[in-house]
Chains A and B, each alone.
Chain A
Amino acid sequence: MSFTHHSHPDAAKDFVQNTERMKWHDEALWFVRAKRDRIAHTVPDWEELRNQASAIKQHTLSNLDVYLQQFEEQAIAHGVQVHWAADAREHNEIVLKLLNQVGAKKIVKSKSMLTEECHLNPWLEQHGIEVVDTDLGERIVQLRKEPPSHIVLPAIHIKKEEVGELFHEFLGTEEGASDPQYLTNAAREHLRQKFLAADAAITGVNFAIAETGGFVVCTNEGNADLGAHLAKMHIACMGIEKVIPKTADLGVFLRLLARSATGQAITTYSSHFLKPAQGTEMHIVIVDNGRTTQLGREAFRNSLKCIRCGACMNTCPVYRRSGGHSYHNAVAGPIGAILAPNIDMKEYADLPFASTLCGSCSDVCPVKIDIHNQLYQWRQELTREGYAPAGKKMAMKMMGNVLASPKKYSFSGKLARKLLKWFPKLSVNGRLNPWGRQRDLPDVPEQSFREWYQQQSSQKQSR
């Protein structure tokens, strides 16, 4: 379940090399982006809805302690058991302890990016517990022993033919079968058995409502419902930023979430959980894992507004061509690139640079996170903290010196143009120069603009 590359450019190069897959991946996600555009156009005041969502989240983040405590009190009053985890390890230990208390050995889990972030599956497996991801895409990547490549569409990088081969190996489907309906039915049969045999169900949380102590889980497959209602124990895992003040706020977020994510008006299931059914247990694990640190970083605080819709991934022209695994983090794409360095600057120092700063992510974001500005700010932060390569630092310093002085600038410009003219085109446009591998350099003019301008002015004066 680990990543093959730990550098975005290297991983991206591999992904791009398979041109056919790269193009198909780009088009599949662009299709989702276009669908999102069409459905967003049908909502009057879409932009106002984004403002509202952003304001609610902003307000909640500023009063997080109040709303989390209110949520806890309300949940406990309904007979739900609430647990607090400072980090991923604590989260995993709590979940394991709860499962061990009832002797649960077989677990079904619906999609939860938090448990991906905490690497819960390998932890439970190490302790002799079977975890089955019940979201179809998640099950596919789980069988392939891969992490998801997208937070909403975990198997978007895999073709149906490859799913056919995988299911033939693990689920005994016919060799060479790739009909999506046939394969989905096979997965359904397989997962039904897992649901029926499960001792406990783990789900994520999309929205936790402080006012009621209830929470909402959104799925398209109903797998969260099925798991939670069949098993004797339901454990819901959530980051501290999932809380919202009121039930009425759901009207804002549910309208935005699915439209932004997949271009659907709403997810097929928006399941509301309030209290355990008779004879069952319901637990909520509330996790920090770096979130309060991010909350304390003023420039990056509002990244915690994220509702994990994945719209920034679908729109990102880099993500669409580099694939989710190139971000070597549970959450990929532009949002992953501003969340990950908060956890580990060294490991993720490459991510804020895996962007052209085109700004599409910020414009598509339903809760108005200024993602591209934060990418820019992370670049500054990482450099200040010493995570820039030494060669780059030297080059940038030199460039800064030259551009600070009109004289040095004019001289260097002239020199550069002469060098480009003198050297044969092959060496400049050659393989060693990353610009020149697939691109020509511009034709070099005799005069710079300033030289031309001076000449014009002196000619005018002498006339």
Chain B
Amino acid sequence: MRVALFVPCYVDQFYPKVAIATLHLLTRLGVEVEFPAGQTCCGQPMANGGFEDYTKRCNRNFVQQFQGYDYIVSPSGSCVLHVKDHLHDDTNETAATTIRQRVYELCEFLTDVLKVDNLDARFKGKVALHQGCHGQRGLQLGSPSERMLPFFSKPLQLLQMVQGVEIVPLNRGDECCGFGGTFCVTEEAVSVAMGNSKLNDYRQNGAEVLTGTDMSCLMHQEGLIKRQQLPIRVMHIAEILAGTT
């Protein structure tokens, strides 16, 4: 099984610890992971901004870097969803199609491919899980609250395997945090208002740690937490599942 690690650009640059935790976690589960060195970005920032046309060469690079692997795994629901929905390359569409089918968000790779039912990990704390929208609704990592489906959540299922983790219930379990890519600056007022609603929810329910599948949502909320000096620690789910801290 050839597995490639896809590290979102902003994680690479600002949160290397998240990628390191992902690598350690996968290695510990017996997966041999390769990091294609020439990878850059999935192209989502341009595409969501309305400039899909400017992602062509970025996409081509992505296809070159990730073709030939059995699985492509990434610690981000949002970037994976973008690849799944929008990766095309008119010079190599066959490879692009294969990649779209083989790209996995970390949690779903663990639950659906590796079928992990036991994690040798410990983490003590009251944890709030932020279900990033692209993972939750786009990749269906969990049952969205709008749909009348039996409840499930892949990230939650994994967190419950970590000894010592106490999950806190939330008032609005899968409400968007307001990051939204460029939305967070073009619609700063609403973005911040949405983020603050999330923080109130965590505080009302006594969360000490905030986690999630997407560092982008967490970066936005961490920005607010730090500015307001709130006693909430922010960690990517890979860090908790790796049990490294």
Interface, chain A (partner B; CB < 8 A): 8-9, 12-13, 16-17, 22, 26, 30, 37, 40-41, 43, 46-47, 315, 317-318, 321-322, 352-360, 362-364, 376, 379-380, 382-384, 388, 392-393, 396-397, 399-406, 409, 413, 416-417, 429, 434-435, 437-442, 444-445, 447-454
Distance in angstroms between the alpha carbons of A313 and B189 in the assembled complex:
18
- Interface contact B9-A417, CB-CB below 8 Å: no
Other A-B pairs beyond A357-B134, A404-B61, A405-B57, 13, CB < 8 Å = A9-B187, A16-B192, A46-B148, A357-B48, A360-B146, A364-B146, A379-B49, A393-B51, A405-B61, A416-B13, A434-B188, A438-B192, A442-B223
B residues less than 8 Å from A364 (CB atoms): 146
> For chain A, what secondary structure do more than half of its interface residues adopt (helix, strand, loop), or is it mixed?
helix
Can you identify 18 A-B contacts, CB atoms within 8 angstroms? A8-B187, A12-B187, A22-B193, A26-B197, A322-B190, A356-B133, A363-B137, A397-B54, A400-B54, A413-B12, A417-B13, A437-B192, A438-B223, A438-B227, A441-B223, A442-B14, A448-B12, A449-B12
Q: Interface on chain B toward A: helix, strand, loop, or mixed SS? A: helix
* Contact A435 B146, CB 8 Å, known A397-B54, A442-B219, A445-B17: no
Q: Please, how many residues of chain B have a CB less than 8 angstroms from a CB on the other chain?
A: 73
Shortest distance from the beta carbon of A309 to any chain B beta carbon, whole Å:
13
Q: Is the CB of A396 within 8 A of B51?
A: yes
B35 adjacent to A453 (CB under 8 Å)? yes
Select which of A16, A441, A449 is within 8 A of B19 by beta carbon: A449
Contact assessment for A403 and B180 in the assembled complex, using a CB-CB cutoff below 8 Å: no
Complex interface: chain A residues within 8 A of B197 (CB): 26, 317
A439 CB contacts on chain B under 8 angstroms = 192, 195, 220, 223-224, 226-227
* Chain A residues whose CB sits within 8 angstroms of the CB of B181 once the complex forms: 356-357
A364 to chain B, nearest CB (A): 4
B25-71 with Cβ < 8 A to chain A: 35, 37-41, 43, 45-55, 57-58, 60-61
Given contacts A406-B40, A442-B222, contact A355 B183 (CB under 8 A): yes
Q: Which of B14, B145, B180, B226 contacts A445 (CB under 8 A)?
A: B14
B: which residues have CB within 8 A of A? Answer: 7, 9, 11-17, 19-20, 23, 35, 37-41, 43, 45-55, 57-58, 60-61, 133-134, 137-138, 144-149, 172, 175-176, 178-195, 197, 219-220, 222-224, 226-227
Contacts of B186 in A (CB 8 A): 9, 353, 434
Cβ contact within 8 Å between B183 and A353: yes
A444 to B13, CA, bound (A): 8
A453 to B50, CA, bound (A): 33
User: Are A440 and B54 in contact, CB atoms less than 8 angstroms apart?
Assistant: no
Chain B residue nearest to A404 (CB atoms) is B57
User: Which single residue of chain B is at the shortest CB-CB distance from A382?
Assistant: B50
Q: Which residue of A lies closest to B38 (CB)?
A: A406
A356–B180 CB distance below 8 A = yes
The CB with the most chain A CB atoms within 10 A, among B12, B47, B61, B134, is that of B12
| A315-B146, A317-B175, A439-B223 known; A356+B37 contact, CB < 8 A | no
Check B13–A388 contact: CB distance below 8 A: no
- Chain A residues whose CB sits within 8 angstroms of the CB of B38 once the complex forms: 406
Which residues from A are CB-within-8-Å of B179? 356
A360 to B138, CA, bound (A): 10
* Interfacial chain A residues near B19, Cβ < 8 Å: 449
Q: Sort A-B residue pairs by CB-CB distance and give the 5 closest, nearest first.
A: A439-B223, A356-B180, A400-B54, A404-B57, A379-B50
CB-CB < 8 A to A376: which residues of B?
47-48
- Decide yes or no: A440 and B37 within 8 Å by CB, A356-B176, A406-B61 being known contacts: no
Q: B14 contacts which of A46, A397, A444, A453 (Cβ < 8 Å)?
A: A444
Asked whether A383 lies within 8 Å of B51 as measured between CB atoms, the reply is yes
